[in-house]
Amino acid sequence: METKVNFFREEVVKSFFESVYDGVVVVDCDGIIQYMSSTYCRFLDVKPEHVVGTHVEMVIENTRMHIVAKTGKEEINDLQLLQGNYVIANRIPIRRKGKLIGAIGTIIFNDLGKWQEMNVHIKKLLNELDFYRKEWNETNGANYSLQDLVGTSDEIGHLKEQVVKLAGGDIAVLIRGESGTGKELIAHSIHQLSERSRKQFVKVNCGSIPEHLLESELFGYVEGAFTGAKKGGKMGKFKFADGGTIFLDEIGDMPEYMQVKLLRVLQEKEIEPVGSLQSEKVDVRVITATNRPIEKMIERNKFREDLFYRINAAQLFLPPLRERREDLKILARHFLQKVTARMNKRVNRIDEDALALIKDYHWPGNIRELENAIEVAVHLSEEGTIDVHSLPSYLNRGRKDYTEKRTLKQQLEDTEKQIIEQALKKYQYDKLKVAESLGMGKSSLYDKLKRHNIMY
């Protein structure tokens, strides 16, 4: 009897959804589709049995259902681009006994005359906005925003909060993290959120410019400064960024003689072009980044301590992927959308075995390596799905090398490294507090940091 009652209730609910709304979708707290109305399926040209159990981002373009299911914040009357048309979307979190268990979304896409007229008008306005935004990005130099920092982990949430708080002032920011974690993205975001966002954002990779050209690239030169100098001289990066932001990436690779010159710029807020007898005032916010252990470089006299204090007014740490594994699925799906849009290839799903392999791999190359792996998988995929055979073969080998083939001693070393990294993050990289919390002396901690090659 109870089964019949439940079946009857389910059919009533489905009939209600089908008759009242143009499209209904229900997802769980992980963004996995549990139900989609037949009208919505017809509109998207998909079959119900194919979408249930699939992540909502793989089925509905520009969706935010997974975000609402995670945050519990409802979104009412939101404009969403779907199948080339704009629809009105409502997204409402679902709770059971106060606990967030998912979200329900409804859309309206009635093909009425006024709606079509408004849709055309909206498209026209947004096309104009896209044109001006593209034009602005090309001249401004900042291409990323905080929305490009994908992830729902506590680490990423805390990092976003810090970026927002630091963006408002002119304080110097040092961004630290392993190669491929997305340090440049953070620099762009700080500029975009700052009062300087209407001015230039200028990026300089200190490690890629030949040493003998770095001074003229940063500070410019006057006519006749040296053999081969351009007529009329050349404006340097600092002058070009006047009023805006300059991002000095790989600051740890800057030659020692240039560190002295940079320190003077930061202290006096003026530059001296090569060959010039006069200094020029500049108003520039400086953001730097490195993946190198600068504190160790200071001990070896490879980096100036006074310069470090100037650029290190505030620090931001980008965690490696292995420390935010809960973000791997959403990042993989994000890159899938990005890559397929660029390649115009219809691949809309990553199967569970492939996702498990992605989650198990240790990703030494971080975000950059993950995006490259997804791009390879899209090329090799068949029937619109990424499976374990589509992914680069080294992911399988990497998992075996990293688990089954490691000795007990190696696994203990891995565990020790992980514990130290977690303690460093917990105590904001205060080595004295870390040593005390782990019950060891500071010198012993430094020995372990060096042995495990941990950046601090």
Same CATH fold assignment for domains 150-318 and 408-451: no
pLDDT at residue 402 tops 50: no
Domain boundaries, the chain: 2-109, 150-318, 321-402, 408-451
Given this model, what pLDDT does residue 442 score? 78
Q: How far apart are CA 59 and CA 43, in angstroms?
A: 12
Please list, in sequence order, all residues whose beta carbon lies within 8 angstroms of the beta carbon of residue 83, skipping any fewer than 6 positions away.
Answer: 43, 44, 61
* Higher per-residue confidence, 415 vs 382: 382
Contact 27, 307 (CB under 8 A): no
Contact 61, 80 (CB under 8 A): no
Q: How far apart are CA 361 and CA 395, in angstroms?
A: 6
Estimate to the nearest angstrom the gap between the alpha carbon of 109 and the chain centroid: 33
Question: Which amino acid belongs to residue 405?
Answer: K
Assign domain 2-109 one CATH number from 3.30.450.20, 1.10.10.10, 3.30.365.10, 3.40.50.300: 3.30.450.20
**Average confidence (pLDDT) over 11-32:** 73
Contact 245, 194 (CB under 8 A): yes
Superfamily of 150-318 according to CATH: P-loop containing nucleotide triphosphate hydrolases (3.40.50.300)
Q: Indicate yes or no: pTM above 0.75.
A: no
Beta-strand relationship, 285-290 and 173-177: parallel
Render pLDDT for 31-45 as a digit per residue (tens, 0 to 9). Answer: 999 999 888 888 888
Which tokens in the block code for residue 108? 């309206």
Q: Taking Cα atoms as reference points, which of 339, 365, 363 lies closest to residue 350?
A: 339
pLDDT at residue 79 tops 50: yes
Q: Which CATH fold topology does 408-451 show?
A: Arc Repressor Mutant, subunit A (1.10.10)
Q: Which CATH fold topology does 321-402 show?
A: Helicase, Ruva Protein; domain 3 (1.10.8)
Render pLDDT for 281-340 as a digit per residue (tens, 0 to 9). Answer: 999 999 999 998 899 899 999 999 999 999 999 999 999 998 898 899 999 999 998 888
